[in-house]
Each structure stands twice: as structure tokens, then as C-alpha cells.
A and B are shown apart, each in its own frame.
Chain A
Amino acid sequence: MEETGAVAVKHPDMDRSAEDIRVKMVQLLPRLRRFAAALTGSVADGDDLVQDTVERALKNLHQWEPGTRLDNWMFRIAKNRFIDTRRSYKRSGVIAVDVPDDTPSVTGDGARAADARLMLADALDALQKLPSEQREALVLVTIEGLSYRDAADILQIPIGTLTSRIARAREALASLAPEG
């Protein structure tokens, strides 16, 4: 830190903003994991996708416009990486509902943890039955709680397209579940 001190003046803002961005990315990890698990169909594959996303985001950080939303930018990277790698997932038959043992559990309550795992497995399974375009749209709006505008922006599609994908995704899910 001090080694560049005397002749050159250390720019006080520089490392701090790099550090700020890393801190923001750590805070985004839980949401990215949720999104990636929902896309890939498993927590383990989702975590691989998150790692890939984080590394790409930092490597291409110059492409992010300061002042715009870092979370939406990273969701877009994750979605694009998922599309790029999807073919290899399918080829190797990795897409499966596989909730590993290290799935987060509820502290001190094994039974509830098992329930949560089952619910997550069911949800991942159901989402995998959707075409990925519908899944992406539904996950961003329903699970991430994003506005149609933000979701359409991340997916780079018109809002009208997003709206119809959401409607079709919900109909497909409704047809899977028995009328209650």
C-alpha cells in the first residue's frame, strides 16, 4: 500500500471502489444462488454457475456501467452463461433434481430442514418441466420479485414477450399440480 507513496499519490478512491464492488457481490450471492439453482435445477449445478458468473463479472467489470444496477447485470451474466453451458448439461444428463446434503438446513430442526429440502426439490423439479425461456421469466418475477421492466431488461426481451411467457409458465405449472 505505501510502496507507491512518495512520487505517485495513491488514488484514495480506487481500491475502495474495487473493495466496495466485491462486498456488494458477496451480498448478492444468496440471490444469485437462488436464481442459478432455479435455472439449472440443482443447488450444486447452480453454485457452479454462480462461481462462473462471479469470475466473469469481475473479469469483465469494465463492461458494467457504474450507476446502473450491479444485481441486474450479474443476473444477465448468469442467464447468458446458463444458456451457453446448457447444451453440455443436457448432453451429460446432469440436469436432474438433485439436492445435495449441504443444502442449507434450519438450525436445530432436522425435520423442518428435511421438509424444506423436499419443497425445494419439488419446486426445482416443477421448474425444470418448463421451457427455459418461460423458466427464466417466471423465476425473475416470482422468486426474485423483480418488476416486469427489470426482468425484461435482464432477459433482453420486450415487456410484452415477458408478460406472455409468465402467463404460459403459470398455466404449465397449474396443469402439473392437481386442482386444489
Chain B
Amino acid sequence: MQSEPTHEILNAFIDGELPPKEMERIAALLAERPDLDAWVRRREAMRADIKNAFSELVTAPPPTRLVQAVKGAPISWRWHLRQFTAPRIWAPAGTALALGLVIGIALHPGSDFASRNGQMMAQGALTAALNDQLASDGHAGPGPRVGISFRNRNGRYCRTFDAGAQSGLACHGDQGWVITLLAAHPQAESSGTYRMAGSEMPDIVRAAVSANIDGEPFDAAAEKAARGRGWK
């Protein structure tokens, strides 16, 4: 005499979740027991009814606002960064992948850069942006735009920036912001205009971030706290 199957077992049978031998045993039992068979059939019908009730909803095109949300909502910048920190940087044959190569940059008093004691330093609007701008505020106006902030392996605060024709990485030193990487945007060179918010950070800047970062990029709170400490 076999034991009476529990409701759990019968439901798992309905959902096809029992091991094959057990599925066979229950099927054989139902053939002999009309009461159990009726019990199971009723719940199978209920299962099908509920699923059918939702079939119109699942075959209908989703509302535009949901499609727009998927297409337009911002993707985590940590995800973008992780995509890049995976060890796979490919350069097409013949492409120069030159770190920090900037040709013909003007180091005049009005520019964002100055040479001091053999180092390239931020100055003017770029220094102001690096000191004060919070990426979490979403800078939309003209002028340099700050991207990711983090601590490097020497314990210095570093920030990526986009300053029109160039973007790069600056780390805060004793005398101010030292430019540790500068990459040119060829499209922007002629006009010198700042690029639109939301444009991509050059991969080479990302590579510099992942090579130098200690821990995680700052979230909004950490960025604000670092500004509060004057990036020291």
C-alpha cells in the first residue's frame, strides 16, 4: 500500500516538478483514484485559466513610456567602467595608442592648462571645475565637465574631466591639480567648443582610471565629502 501523496506532491506533479520516477508513480496512482484525479484536474484547469487570463496582456505591445524608459534611462557608470576594466583593450592595426599624446596644445594664459615646474597643471576654468563641480549634480552649462572621481593608489584624489578639445585625468597634488593624462578629441579641435554632456569618455581615459584607481569610483556622497576636504 502506497502512502497518500501530500498536497505539495500533487501540486509539484501539476507543475511537472517531480523526478521522472515520481511523476510516473503519481500518474499511475491517479489512474486508480478518481477522487485524486478530479482534485488534480481541477487545479490543472485553474492553472490554465489564470495563465490564459493574462495572455492578452503579454501579447500586447508595451506602452511607449515603458519602451522609452528602457531606451532612455541612464545606465550605471560603474557598469560602464566595469565593462572597460575587463582586460580587453583592442586597437585596430596601425592605430597609435599613445598615452598622454597631445599635439600642439596651447599653453597660453587663457587656456585650461599651464606648465609649472615641469608638470602640466590645470588652471582657470578647469581648476574651478575640478575644485567645485560635482558630477552627481549633472553639470549642463558651458565649460569643463568633471566625470568620475576616485582615490588613486598613492592616496591622491583624482578626477576625470572633459575640457572641450581635450579630456583627461587630473590628480590633486600639493600645488593643485596635476594633469596626469590628456587625450585629444579631433572632432572638437577646430571649434574648441565643449562637447555635449553625456558624450563618452575616451577609452584611454577609462584605461587610466582602471590602472590607477584604489577601490571604487566615488558615489555622490563620497564625491561631496572629498570636495568638503578640499581634495586633500
Contacts and interface: CB of A to CB of B under 8 A. Distances in A.
Interface string A23-64: 001100111011001100001000100110011001111101
Contact of A123 (B49, B63, B69, B74): B49
B169 interface: no
B202 A54 contact: no
Nearest to A170: B43
B186 A167 contact: no
B166 to A, nearest CB: 9
Contacts of B8: 163-164, 166-167
Contact of A34 (B57, B78, B82, B92): B57
Interface string A80-105: 00000000000000000000001111
Contacts of B88: 13
A105 B11 contact: no
Given A9-B97, A18-B80, A31-B58, A3 B185 contact: yes
A174 B46 contact: yes
Which size bracket describes the interface of B in this complex?
35 or more
A155 interface: no
Which size bracket describes the interface of A in this complex?
35 or more
A156 interface: no
B80 A12 contact: no
A68 interface: no
26 contacts: A2-B187, A4-B202, A5-B186, A6-B184, A9-B91, A9-B204, A10-B203, A13-B83, A13-B88, A14-B83, A18-B80, A22-B71, A26-B62, A26-B71, A30-B57, A54-B69, A54-B73, A55-B69, A58-B70, A59-B76, A61-B75, A103-B57, A123-B53, A163-B12, A170-B14, A174-B42
Interface of B: 6-8, 10-12, 14-15, 17, 42-43, 45-47, 49-63, 65-67, 69-71, 73-76, 78-84, 88-92, 95-98, 101-102, 183-188, 195, 199-205
Given A167-B8, A171-B7, 18 more contacts: A6-B186, A7-B186, A9-B92, A12-B90, A14-B203, A18-B83, A26-B70, A29-B62, A33-B66, A34-B54, A47-B66, A105-B56, A105-B60, A113-B56, A116-B55, A119-B53, A126-B50, A166-B11
